[in-house]
Amino acid sequence: MIMTRTPLRISLGGGGTDLPSYSQQFGGFVLSAAITKYVYITVNQSFLPGYLLKYSEMEHSQTRDQIRHPLMREALAMHEVPAPLEVVSVADVPAGTGLGSSGTFTVGLMHALHAYKREPVCAEKLACEAIEIEMTRLAEPVGKQDQYSAAYGGLLCQEYAKDGSVRVFPLEINESRVHELRDSLMLFFVGYTRRASTLLAEQNARSLDGDQDMLEGLHFAEDLGREIRRVLEQGRIAEFGPLMDAHWQRKRMRCKGMTNDRIDQLYDLAIQDGGATGGKLVGAGGSGFLLFQTNDRPRLRDAMTCAGLSEMDFSFDFDGSVVVVRNA
């Protein structure tokens, strides 16, 4: 049996500029942080014929082509893994919460299949294979941030070139500043999930059409992402909150459905009553987790708890996708 553990992520800056509809015209930059919330994938030879797949549903398909789960179907086809096979997915956080679960799932699955076949694999190959599955084979309107963050882990800078290539490198920040940043951040679950593809498809179409409002919003996100990198690398951790707020105020106007009255009310509550210095909704928008920076964790926690939100504690993950069980 093989088991992989692959981290989810929060986007710290530049989100949205990793979509090819933007980056292949202008380039892009994203700063992401892998967190200690994971997707676990196990792969094992099954006693039953065919493919036994367990995720939020359960499938038992005799052939790969009959598999309903698109990511599993395409991954098994890419690696030509024969039956009988059992694949099980378990996650710390539900899908559709803005933490990059689809990319994380795919990276973890690719890693498990390589390990099952006894093939060594690097983080770069895992990210590229996951991107091939999601963006090329399934034509999903997604970017590349999630796959790279899941494969590499850490506080990761991602530079996107117009030719489609990606350069990744760690944020240059010392250990004490990493702890300071982590201790200043809090995540709260809004309470429902959604598929990011609807909002990303709108961004994709408008970027390709040359919509000036969309493009200017993404230019702003890229520039702000680079500024966030500079601020954090210079150790000015307290300035991250106001920069997040500037990002959120611009992002919320980018697409219909990016926010709603409930999210706006919670955000205002966190700033006015909770003492947060800034924040944003993590992911494509619409639901999921609100991320805030604060100098007073108990005050913000009390305000959000009274509003009915649950906090999700986390730290940063610096391992990326790893094999945690490998039984012959």
Structure confidence by residue, pLDDT tens digits, 307-322 = 999 999 999 999 999 9
What fold does the segment set 175-312 form as a domain?
Answer: Alpha-Beta Plaits (3.30.70)
In the chain, pLDDT over 90 holds for what percent of residues? 82
Residues 6+ apart with CB under 8 A from 146: 9, 100, 102, 103, 104
Task: Look at residue 200 in the predicted model and tell me its pLDDT.
Answer: 63
Is the pLDDT score of 180 beyond 70? yes
Task: Look at residue 150 in the predicted model and tell me its pLDDT.
Answer: 98
CA 296 to chain centre: 26
Task: Look at residue 193 in the predicted model and tell me its pLDDT.
Answer: 61
Q: Buried b / exposed e across 24-43, counting CB within 10 Å, b at 16+?
A: beeebbbbbbbbebbbbbbb
CA 154 to chain centre: 13
Give, in words, the CATH class of 2-173+317-326.
Answer: alpha beta
Q: Rounded mean pLDDT of the chain? A: 93
- Average pLDDT rounded to a whole number, residues 77-85: 96
Is the pLDDT score of 129 beyond 70? yes
- Average pLDDT rounded to a whole number, residues 38-48: 96
Per residue in 59-69, pLDDT (tens digit) is 999 999 999 99
- Average pLDDT rounded to a whole number, residues 265-277: 97
Task: Look at residue 67 in the predicted model and tell me its pLDDT.
Answer: 97
Q: What are phi and psi of 26, to 5 degrees?
A: -130, -5
- How far apart CA 118 and CA 204 sit, in angstroms, is 38
Contact between 291 and 78 under an 8 Å Cβ cutoff? The reply is: no
Q: Write the DSSP string, 96-157.
A: SSSS-HHHHHHHHHHHHHHHHTT----HHHHHHHHHIIIIIIS--S--SHHHHHHHH-SEEE
- Average pLDDT rounded to a whole number, residues 281-304: 90
- Average pLDDT rounded to a whole number, residues 236-264: 89
Confidence category of residue 163, pLDDT binned at 50, 70, 90: very high
Contact between 160 and 221 under an 8 Å Cβ cutoff? The reply is: no
- Average pLDDT rounded to a whole number, residues 165-179: 98
Cα distances from 72 to residues 6, 78, 87, 105, 107, in angstroms, run 16, 10, 9, 9, 11
For residue 75, which of 130, 116, 3 has the smallest C-alpha distance? 130
For residue 228, which of 12, 2, 3 has the smallest C-alpha distance? 12
Contact between 320 and 7 under an 8 Å Cβ cutoff? The reply is: yes
Q: Is 23 or 211 the better-scoring residue by pLDDT? A: 23
Per domain, the residue ranges of the chain are 2-173+317-326, 175-312
Per residue in 87-112, pLDDT (tens digit) is 999 999 988 888 999 999 999 999 99
- Average pLDDT rounded to a whole number, residues 221-250: 96
Residue 35 pairs with which residues in a beta bridge? Answer: 316
Give me 183's structure tokens: 């201790």
Confidence category of residue 258, pLDDT binned at 50, 70, 90: confident
Per residue in 188-229, pLDDT (tens digit) is 998 766 655 566 666 667 777 777 888 898 999 999 999 999
Task: Look at residue 283 in the predicted model and tell me its pLDDT.
Answer: 73
Confidence category of residue 121, pLDDT binned at 50, 70, 90: very high
Amino acid at 64: R
Cα angle vertex 262, ends 271, 35, to 5°? 65
- Average pLDDT rounded to a whole number, residues 31-46: 97
